[in-house]
Amino acid sequence: MSPMGLISKGSKMYSILHFKCPRCQEGDLYPTATFSFRKPFDMYKECPVCGQSYEPEPGFYYGAMFISYIITGWFSLAVVAFFRWGLHWSLLHSFLMLFVIGGLLFVYFYRLSRAIWLTMNVRYEPDWKQQEKSAAS
Ligand SMILES: [Zn+2]
């Protein structure tokens, strides 16, 4: 079992780490795997399972940019600090390593920021099927 398996369904961390729809936690957010690097910036328009819109309003992901800044900012500091002071590499080599690692994780961070932002703004509704039925009747 992966460490991510310890986070149970129903928590917001589950949707974020598994890149699942925050409403039903069944549907995927992205059509391709992160590290396949195929169509890295494609996202479904809505949840393929419950139909939750993934872009509730125009410019919705503007907010995700700020999350992305925070994540990449702290991540960059941590990487450079680790190689510079942890492994005593030169500053130049530490920054080169940051570009290599950052390049590999760029798509992941992009997707992670969107997943966090969407999950912050959409409520988990495990009984979404019942709710849709009662809304229709
Ligand atoms: Zn869904």
pTM: 0.87
Confidence (pLDDT) at 1: 46
Task: Please check whether residue 44 lies inside any domain of the structure.
Answer: yes
Give pLDDT tens digits for 21-74: 999 999 999 999 999 989 999 999 999 999 999 999 999 999 999 999 999 999
- CA 8 from chain center: how many Å? 17
In a domain, 131, yes or no: no
Q: Give the model's confidence band at 7: pLDDT under 50 very low, under 70 low, under 90 confident, else very high.
A: confident
pLDDT of residue 127: 92
- What radius of gyration do the chain's Cα atoms show? 18
133 lies in some domain: no
Q: Cα of 2 to ligand 1 centre, how many Å?
A: 23
Centre of ligand 1 to C-alpha 137, Å, is: 21
Give the number of domains in the chain. Answer: 1
Residue 32 alpha carbon to ligand 1 centre in Å: 17
Structure confidence at residue 5 as a pLDDT band (50, 70, 90):
low
Does residue 71 lie in a domain region?
Answer: yes
User: Is the confidence at residue 85, as pLDDT, over 80?
Assistant: yes
Distance (angstroms) between ligand 1 centre and the Cα of 89 equals 46
Which three-class secondary structure string do you get for 64-104? Answer: HHHHHHHHHHHHHHHHHHHHHHHCCCCHHHHHHHHHHHHHH
Largest CA distance in the chain: 67
pLDDT tens digits, residue range 98-113? Answer: 999 999 999 999 999 9
Q: Output the CA 54–ligand 1 centroid distance in Å.
A: 9
Cα 46 to ligand 1 centroid, rounded to whole Å: 8
38 inside domain:
yes
Whole-number pLDDT of residue 133: 74
User: What's the gap in Å between 29 CA and the centre of ligand 1?
Assistant: 9
134 is a domain residue: no
Q: What is the mean pLDDT of residues 75-88?
A: 97
Parent domain of 27: 6-125
- Determine, yes or no, domain membership for 136: no
pLDDT of residue 134: 74
Confidence at 4, pLDDT banded by 50, 70, 90? low
Cβ pair 32, 38 in contact under 8 A: yes
